[in-house]
Copies of this chain bind each other. A is one copy, B any other.
Amino acid sequence: MRGFSYLKKALHIRSSCSRLLVVSCISSGGLLVYAENVDNNEKIVERSRLDSKKRKKIVVLGTGWAGTSFLKDMDISSYDVEVVSPRNYFAFTPLLPSVTCGTVEARSVVEPVRNIIKKRNGEIQFWEAECLKIDPENNQVICRSTVENLVGENDFSLEYDHLVVAVGAQVNTFNTPGVVEHCHFLKEVEDAQKIRRTVIDCFEKAVLPGLSDEERRTNLHFVIVGGGPTGVEFAAELHDFVHEDLVKLYPSVKDLVKITVIQSGDHILNTFDERISCFAETKFQRDGIEVLTGCRVVSVSEHSVNMKVKSTGEYVVVPHGMVVWSTGVGTRPFVRNFMEEIGQEDISTIFEAADTDRSGTLTIEEFQDVLEDIIIRYPQVELYLKSNHLLQVTELFKDSEGNEREEVDIEGFKLALSHVDSQMKSLPATAQVAAQQGSYLAGCFNRWEQCNTNPEGPRLFGSAGRHAFRPFTYRHLGQFAPLGGSKAAAELPGDWVSMGRSTQWLWYSVYAR
């Protein structure tokens, strides 16, 4: 669903004559949208006439990597900028796993947004609140303060001329029962601090008089659900923390500690080069970190994880002291709603543009033609085709039963694109991608006049002319190529704490496709 709406959003660019521009980090669910008021909206036109003398107002949602780098690179001399975020600080997220084990102090991974703003001569305003809804009809966002038990209205709305949505993703529990109640996450600084306290609690409880060894074992069993980069990095951090520090402080229970990684796929780090995930598994085995692959967690309770072993179909109950849930992220509901709202007619627009003979169906040739332009803007589509060894687009024409088709109608077209979209793994959920997207977008605003006079983007579908801006590209794609899998792997696992390296890993995974 997320993927689909993402691509719909992406396609929307064509139809909206550069009124709407999207750069999105889909695999993180992280999203950066720039939306300008659409001219054919009477109400808005009227408003803009009234405000014609006023500087345009940009509202930025989010203070993560994308939002913050946008603020830092934005030339605010010609815009009024307002920022809305429930966090009044920017968090250096790649270091969160290190915070959980005290390798790094929480305070040293955060930067107050108001300090960043101050450096911009106070021309940017910040509101600590979360966005509840985007109302593109009226060009406004509905926000709610996250501070309770103080006097005054909590809800307020902000009008925008340009809206930048950079709220990032949210934890994806896949609606697994008990996850929200009994699991820890690794998204926010508070999560990391809470994990740290909980690990210590587990040890303090485990050493108390009157517990059976079985109970001590349970309290000292740390389960990580999800064998992706974050989960694996945390497992490695925790292992070092336990065996370098905690066993010295709690010597009596040092042999009862256990760390387990539960992975639904056949390998941990399965988006990575095979050599890497293989090395990681070997290293973990050597470290005594148990890796349970092919197991899907069906529910989590206060003291146990209930999982299904795919191969045998049997259900296994795993007692635990703490569970960290790290199975990926999803798009925030209000963003999905927004994307659907503005993304509706786009696919049909591009379909019509492609259907040159107005037959109501696309031939392979017609499809190929538009696909090229899609690829210009969305290299991941090409990467997808490559990674799936689809030498020709005809593959996309197969119906659900896998039968070849000569032509596709609008539905088949949507299906094909959403298929590409849902499979898309080529945009890594890295801080770097988001940061680049932020400064890319800032650049678009900074070169607004110039680019609208001399468009530098690819040709338009809906009408004549070209897009004002060149599409976003990952400047560093493959930059870390020299880093061979084995070498990188040789840096497992303690070294993963440094942002540089973990990013390399992700980049490597992209490059390795």
Name A's B-contacting residues (CB within 8 A).
88, 105, 107, 112, 114-115, 118, 122, 127-129, 145, 147, 149-153, 155-156, 158, 200-202, 204-212, 215-216, 218-219, 248-251, 302-303, 319, 321
Q: A150-B219, A249-B112, A249-B114 are in contact. Are A127 and B208 (CB under 8 A)?
A: yes
Q: Which of B150, B155, B202 contacts A202 (CB 8 A)?
A: B150
Q: A151-B303, A152-B211, A153-B210 are in contact. Are A205 and B249 (CB under 8 A)?
A: no
Give the complex CA separation of A250 and B125 in angstroms. Answer: 10
Nearest opposing residue in chain B for A106, CB measure: B107
In whole Å, how far is A481's beta carbon from the nearest beta carbon of chain B?
Answer: 40
Give the complex CA separation of A128 and B207 in angstroms. Answer: 9
Contact of A205 with B150 in the complex, beta carbons under 8 Å: yes
Q: A209-B127, A249-B114 are in contact. Are A321 and B150 (CB under 8 A)?
A: yes
By a CB distance below 8 angstroms, the chain B residues around A114 are 249-250
Contact of B200 with A151 in the complex, beta carbons under 8 Å: no
Residue of A152, A158, A302 contacting most chain B CB atoms (<10 Å):
A152
Give the complex CA separation of A250 and B118 in angstroms. Answer: 10
Contact of B204 with A128 in the complex, beta carbons under 8 Å: yes
By a CB distance below 8 angstroms, the chain B residues around A321 are 150-151
In whole Å, how far is A195's beta carbon from the nearest beta carbon of chain B?
Answer: 14
Nearest opposing residue in chain B for A89, CB measure: B200
Give the complex CA separation of A112 and B251 in angstroms. Answer: 16
Q: Which of B158, B209, B216 contacts A209 (CB 8 A)?
A: B158
Contact of A248 with B127 in the complex, beta carbons under 8 Å: no
Contact of B150 with A201 in the complex, beta carbons under 8 Å: yes
Q: A107-B105, A249-B114 are in contact. Are A211 and B319 (CB under 8 A)?
A: no
Contact of B151 with A208 in the complex, beta carbons under 8 Å: no
Contact of B212 with A152 in the complex, beta carbons under 8 Å: yes
Give the complex CA separation of A262 and B250 in angstroms. Answer: 46
